[in-house]
Structure formats: C-alpha cells, structure tokens
Chains A and B, each alone.
Chain A
Amino acid sequence: MNARPWLKIVSVLIGLFLTVPTMIVVPMSFSASDTFRFPPAEWSLKWYESLFTAPQWTDAILNSLQVGLIAAGLATVLGTAAAIGLSRLGERTRGLATGFLLSPIIIPNILIALVIFTAFLRAGLTGSLFGIALAHTALALPYVVIAVSARLQGMNPVLATAGGSLGARPWSVFRKITLPLALPGVLSGAVLAFVISFDEVVIALFLQSPTATTLPVLMFNSVTVQIDPTISAASSLTVLVVSVPILLAQMIGARRGKRERQR
C-alpha cells in the first residue's frame, strides 16, 4: 500500500469530491439562519421541527415512504420473477429480453416521465400515489433484475433439477430451493428499489397533485417558489434514509462473503 502514495491521495480526493457536497447540507440543516448559509453562524433544530411538524412536510414524508414501499414490493416480486425467467431462456433470447428489461436505465427519465404522463392521463392514474408507485416500479425493476440475476448465475442449476427428482413440485422447488438461495440478491434488489423510488423526482413531478406530493417534489417546489431552509433538513433526512439501508446491505453482504470464504 505504502508503495503507491499517489493512488491513496487520488482515491481520497475522489471520495471527497463525491461526498462533500452531500455532507455540506447536513451542517446547514442545523443552522439558525433563515437563509442558506455555510458555515452556519448559529445552530438550531428549528428546520427539523418544521420538517416533522408542518403538515405539508410530514404528508410528503409519509407519501414518499408509501410510494417507496409499494414500488419496492412490486419491483421485487416482478424483478425476481423476471430474473428467474431469464435464467431459463436460451442464450440469444435471454440477451434480447435482458436488454428490454434493463432499458429504463438507459432511457432518459424525462422521456419516461412524458410517456407515462400521457398514458396515465388516459388511465386516470395521474395525481395518485399509486400511479407514482407504478412508474417507480418500472424504474426500479432493472436493478432488482440485475441483483437477482447475479445471484442466480452463481447458483448451480442442477439444484432445482435435483429438487424435482426428489419429488418436489415446481412451486415447492421455487419456495424451498431457488428462493432461499437467491434471497441475498432479492433483498439487495428490494433495498435498491426503495432507494430509487424514495429520491426520484422527475416522474413524481409530472404525476404530482396536491394530495400526491412526494418529499423530493416538495423540496423542488419549495426551492422554486420560496426559499425555505426546511429543505436542508429534508435533504439530510433523504441522505439518511437512502444510505443507511444500502450500507446495512453492504455490511451484511460483506460479512456473509467473509464467512463463505472462510469455509
């Protein structure tokens, strides 16, 4: 390690570049000033008080949690099923089907938002939390597919065959063999799906209504309409909600990997 001091320095610089902007918002959220200032001159918790007491903010937080959980649930079920289906396809069809399923990652969000908006207008799904959750499901699906597929690729396909030879019906094979072995992938897919939905803003902006406003949308609105430093508290909360599950998943994964390597 010491033989390459430059590598260390560059790594640290890149790390700072990626995290510092996010971290600046955290001290700002504890500021007592009514405008954005860094560093804060005085400290207070008033923006957090505003975030957790003002109805528009608490509603937005609850809305985001709701949308996130529904989207994560749907995306996890659909994505897991898709990944299992993909693993059984022939090589060429699998390539095509995978490309199709992963396309939401490549297509610009604004385009997706426009198309979904027009489609949902006809279906009467605009302005509803469920509509936003459905759109987020489509957005999060690729991540679940990737996470579960990676896990399935490391799994010996003969195990499912063996289950059948031992008298297990296909559903039983899925429940007792495939799913338990793919579970780490399914769980990390679910976490990713929730996180993606929780901080998604473009689609949620298009589909918003006074009763269906998610936290990122409210933050966006409050920046454009008036300067309300509550958004720095909201940002800090978002960072927390988004990073904690991912860090936890990483740590659990790392510990499991270490245990598997020790054997």
Chain B
Amino acid sequence: MTPRASDGGRIELTNLCKRYGSGPLVVDDVTIDIASGEFVTLLGPSGSGKTTTLNMIAGFTEVTSGHIRLAGKDISLLPPYKRNFGMVFQNYALFPHMTVAQNIAFPLRERKVPKAEIERRVAEVLELVDLVGLGRRRPDELSGGQQQRVALARAVVFSPSVLLLDEPLSALDRKLRQNLQQEIKRLHRELGLTFVFVTHDQDEAMALSDRIAVFNNGRIERIGSPADLYRDPGTRFVARFLGESNLFDGLLHADGVYEWRDHKWAVHAPDGAPEDRDLVVRPERLRIAAAPADVPPNANQAPATVTGLSFQGTHQRVDLDYGGGVEGCAVVPPDEADGLRPGSRVIAHWDPRHQSLVTRG
C-alpha cells in the first residue's frame, strides 16, 4: 500500500449532464478537474446534484452527455465493476452474510488474487483502520463507527486509484463523526489516493477538503479551497451555505461606495456601473461597540439590537438584528460582550478589508 505518484488518479469531468426522461437537468454542465491525490468535496443541499455526479463517476448512473476521464482515458461508458474505484456508502453497505474479513476480501476474490496474498492484505488493512482482531465478527456485531471503518478498509484494500465517499459520516453521532473525519484525513494522507467526498455538512467539507465544489441546482456554483470560499464566497448562495454571515442587500455604486438603507460604506471594488450586490461580513470579523465614540475611524458600521447571547467557552456569540428583517451574528472574545443584554442597542463595525461582495443570484 504505497502512496502512488503520477496522474493515475486524475479525474476530469467535462460538461457532464444528467437528465431523467424528459425531466429537468439534475446535473447541469459540470466541469471539474481533480488532480491525482487531491481531496475534493462535492458540497450542496439535498437535490443539488452532488450525489448524482458521484454516481456518474462511480458508473451507477448513466451519463446523459459530457465525459468522465480517468488519467486521460474516457471511462464514461465503462460499467462500475471495470472502473476500479473504491466506494464508501452512507449506510456502510457491508454484506451481512459475510464476516468482516470476508467482506474485506471480497474485492480481492473478485480480482482472483491468490489466497495467501488476500490474507496478507486483509490483515494489513485491518491494521490500517485499527480493527485488528475483529476479522471474524459479523458486521451486525460491530458499532456504527466500526462498520464504517470496515467499509473504508474494503474500499481501499484493492488499491484503487480513486476513493468515492457518499456521505459516509451522516449516519454516525457527532463525536464518532469527528473521530472518523480524522481517520479519513489520515487515510488520505497515508494512501495518497484521490478522494471524492460528497456531503451536505459544511463543517465536514471545510475540515477535510483540499478543494470544495459547492453545488446548487445541478451546477457547480463555486469551487475553491475552504479558506478561499469562506473568505470570498462569490455568491449569496455560497455565503449562506458555507459558514455564517452578516449579509446586507444594498447597492454598489461606481465610486466605491456601498449603500445599504441610509448607510454608506467604503468598499474596495473595481470600477463599474452601479450594481446590486450583497455585502458579506463573517461573524468573527465583526466587532461590537456600545457607543459611536468607540468605533475606530475608517471602519464601516451598522447599528443593531442584540437578540441573543450564548457563551461558547472560547468565545461569545452575539445574535444581532439590524432591522428590516436583516439578522446576523458576531463572534467575539468572551470579555468583549460584558454588559450586553438581549435588547441592548449596539454598533456593529468592521474593517472594510474584511468584507466581501457577492452576487445575488
């Protein structure tokens, strides 16, 4: 199980579309180039086309149009059993009539690997996923977390070039989920395979991925590293879906002024005609001041009413109401929220460098 270099696990999707019968496009012109060894997450709400895209990569769903290439070769028409991809399913999909070791040996048997070699490799992956000694158990004698480890072991034992993961953690409770997240990250590091991970959980996507492709209505709305997408979401949908935000629906003027209600804020924006844009400020970039005198010069500011406070240990969360149905929140160091009560009138302010403009679409 040596890490593989080269282009062996490169997956290119070009203009991929899927339509059932004469219905609407479920996947609409998806193009993405996944490098060998990369960890890419397809993130989106249910019905956004992310799972259909994964199923097309796996070969379970026929492609309506477009191409899927693995290491440069078109595999769009190859049946799943010839694609040689590992796959981990939401509900583990372990074979209940086989032991753990038989489950893991299954893909090797199908490939006619010699018996001694099978035994060696099963023992090896059992160790890799920390399940030594459980080979003779039946899947239903294991906990959910252990079952998903078996599924992981079974999906990588035949050294596939790509591992596809379809919401593998969603059936687990929160603590186990974090535990297995680390496990998946470690496996990715140790095996060096390409990982294509589908989830609707933004925290999972941010914690694991090299790049995230945010799906909306069958299209990739935006793709980039977690930090880039968080800092500069680009569209209102991504801003809302990825992390929390204070989102103002104002107007961008050509002279570098953003107007929201009767406030005028400074923006570093390219020149152009007035545009409807949303202005986004992330909660940890927002500061709270009790009086106008406390707001630093050059900061953008908006008055707000505190609607809720919750102590989170490392920080304090302050829920804010800007009036007119616009709500948001700030995350501040615990002592900065001293003296605030629900109903307090405050001034939320931020450095213009920490805001970001997104399209409304």
Contacts and interface: CB of A to CB of B under 8 A. Distances in A.
Interface of A: 156, 158-159, 161-170, 172, 176-177, 180-181, 263
B23 to A, nearest CB: 14
Nearest to B89: A158
20 contacts: A158-B91, A158-B93, A161-B89, A162-B87, A163-B106, A164-B60, A165-B59, A165-B80, A165-B81, A165-B85, A165-B87, A165-B155, A165-B164, A166-B158, A167-B81, A167-B107, A167-B110, A170-B81, A172-B110, A180-B97
B110 A168 contact: yes
B203 interface: no
- Complex A-B, nearest 5 residue pairs according to Cβ-Cβ distance, in ascending order: A166-B107, A162-B93, A165-B87, A164-B80, A167-B110
Contacts of A169: 81, 110
B81 A161 contact: no
A72 B139 CA distance: 34
A200 B81 CA distance: 46
A165 B156 CA distance: 11
Interface string B322-359: 00000000000000000000000000000000000000
Given A166-B106, A166-B107, A168-B81, A161 B60 contact: yes
B111 interface: yes
Contacts of A166: 81, 87, 106-107, 110, 154-155, 158
Given A164-B81, A165-B87, A159 B95 contact: yes
Contacts of A164: 59-60, 79-81
B180 to A, nearest CB: 18
Given A167-B110, A167-B158, A169-B81, A162 B89 contact: yes
B96 interface: yes
B96 A167 contact: no
A159 B158 CA distance: 18
Interface residues of B, number: 26
A165 B106 contact: no
Contacts of A263: 140-141
Interface of B: 58-60, 79-81, 84-87, 89, 91, 93, 95-97, 106-107, 110-111, 140-141, 154-155, 158, 164
Contacts of A159: 93, 95
Contacts of B158: 166-167
B86 A156 contact: no
Contacts of B58: 165
A180 B84 CA distance: 25
Given A159-B95, A177-B95, A180-B97, A167 B89 contact: no
Contacts of B79: 164
A20 B16 CA distance: 69
A169 B80 CA distance: 9
Nearest to B158: A167
A177 to B, nearest CB: 6
A161 B89 CA distance: 10
Contacts of A165: 58-60, 80-81, 85-87, 155, 164
A55 to B, nearest CB: 47
Contacts of A172: 110
Contacts of A156: 91, 93
B351 to A, nearest CB: 49
A172 B110 CA distance: 8
B28 to A, nearest CB: 24
A172 B58 CA distance: 18
Contact of A181 (B86, B96, B107, B111): B96
Contacts of B91: 156, 158
A172 B84 CA distance: 16
Chain B CB within 10 Å, residue with most, of A156, A165, A166, A177: A166
A170 B95 CA distance: 16
Given A165-B59, A166-B158, 7 more contacts: A166-B106, A166-B155, A167-B84, A167-B107, A167-B110, A169-B110, A176-B106
A159 B154 CA distance: 13
Nearest to A159: B93
Contacts of B60: 161, 164-165
B97 A167 contact: no
A159 B97 CA distance: 11
Contacts of B85: 165
Nearest to A160: B93
A156 B140 CA distance: 14
A257 to B, nearest CB: 14
A36 B164 CA distance: 74
A181 B97 contact: yes
Contacts of A176: 106
A40 to B, nearest CB: 51
Chain A CB within 10 Å, residue with most, of B84, B85, B107, B155: B107
B308 to A, nearest CB: 42
Contacts of B140: 263
Contacts of A163: 95, 106
Nearest to A172: B110
A162 B89 CA distance: 8
A162 B165 CA distance: 12
A162 B97 CA distance: 14
A156 B95 CA distance: 10
A152 to B, nearest CB: 14
A203 to B, nearest CB: 38
B111 A167 contact: yes
A168 B87 CA distance: 13
